Copies of this chain bind each other. A is one copy, B any other.
Amino acid sequence: MAKIAILGFGTVGSGVLEVCRRNAASIARRAGEPVEVKYILDIRDFSASPDAALFVKDLDVILADPEIRVVVETIGGTRFAYPYVRRCLESGRSVCTSNKEMVATYGAELLALARAHGAAFLFEASVGGGTPIITPMHQCLAANHISRIEGIVNGTTNFMLTKMKRENMEFPEALRIAQQLGYAETKDPGDDVDGRDACRKIAILGSLACGHALYPDNIPTRGIRRITVADIRAAEGLECVVKLIAWYRELPEGGVAAGVEPMLVPDTNQLAGVDDVFNAVLMRGDMLGDVIFYGKGAGKLPTASAVVADVIDALKDGARIHDSLFWQPADKPEGLLQDPDRHTWYLRAAGISAAVLTGLAGDSRLVLDGEQGPACLVRGATTAEMQALCEKIRLLGGEPALVLKRLAD
């Protein structure tokens, strides 16, 4: 009988308990022994719960119990989660987490700490919810060099963009529905709609691909607040859809670039058909070519089932088998990781005429001329060139309202 503890009894934490009980028999078969939740740490009062006897308020109770071999961290954030996870790893316990903020920020340090104490630090559920991404990446693609990652990794914004497209709904209305359904936070939906959640996820995948830490602070990140239905219709005219894409790329001249930004995705791209709350991540391996992992990116039981799969893994001598799940700490670069490449861009500006816009934009063509300003397609420009163009628009009294890169085929 393997005993585990859960830190934080929110959505995912309670899901872990539920998955462990509902699929107890098959989990026991795969882990080689039954798996039982012995403690749940939560500061709230659960004395009326049928599981009241499991709840503790002090991490020391868990750390003092030699029966506990694996700890699940589902508190979220870093304030409590990070010091708690450090203490668990230092005590030799393996930790399985769905906490992308903690992994993106302290991953290198926690992986090294786990290694130093013969424990495993596993976080499959931190990207893609229940969809397997991290394990296939570091294990099945172990004989590959991964040069490119492109993904739809935030289900909330993908749901909103799908609503906007299918139902001609503007951003505020789509956000309201996402909040009603519990997909977006009511108080501050910024983690989703401003791209911070997607940024943490690409920081994790990028770190794993290049072997050293990429920090969320260094990844240029833009969300979907400025997208309008008119932009989505203009994209359709270009045989594209608008998606929030998190990307990572190795640069031919050395180094890497990464970003989170809404993009024009050509209809022929496999990511174009990924709708609603679904996530999909494309990876390019040098031996393998492109692979895509697709599934629901969130949800209580899907995410919890990925955490429990990590628990099974950790129970089976996790520390030894995961040498490939690792990245080195790295100095934080100053400023942002910039994309040096040339792209085709969609640029919408307010307060100037279509003629002036296309005149300024050089090799371009008008694709929208509506209430929210004209928009044109600009070919073969770098990020820096687009920034200079936006500056010119401002000097002429206009306002660059939306700039979208087109994803290469």
Residues in A lying within 8 Å of B, measured CB to CB? 19-20, 22-23, 26-27, 29-30, 32, 124, 130-132, 135-136, 138-145, 270, 273, 285-296, 299, 301-302, 304-306, 308-309, 312-313, 316-317, 320-321, 323-324
Contact = CB atoms under 8 A, between A and B. Distances in A.
A250 B308 CA distance: 23
B135 A139 contact: yes
Which of A136, A145, A301, A316 has the most CB atoms of chain B within a 10 A radius of its CB?
Answer: A136
Nearest to A18: B287
Contact of A291 (B27, B289, B294, B299): B294
Nearest to A325: B30
A72 to B, nearest CB: 12
Given A142-B27, A288-B301, A324 B312 contact: yes
Which of A288, A309, A324 has the most CB atoms of chain B within a 10 A radius of its CB?
Answer: A288
Contacts of A306: 140, 143, 288
16 contacts: A23-B286, A26-B145, A27-B142, A30-B324, A32-B323, A130-B289, A131-B288, A131-B291, A132-B132, A132-B291, A136-B136, A143-B312, A292-B292, A292-B293, A292-B294, A293-B293
B321 A142 contact: no
Query: Oligomeric state, in number of copies?
Result: 2
A187 to B, nearest CB: 28
A179 B323 CA distance: 42
B312 A287 contact: no
Given A136-B135, A294-B270, A317-B320, A288 B142 contact: no
B312 A316 contact: no
Contacts of A23: 143-145, 286-287
A125 B185 CA distance: 42
Contacts of A141: 132, 305, 309
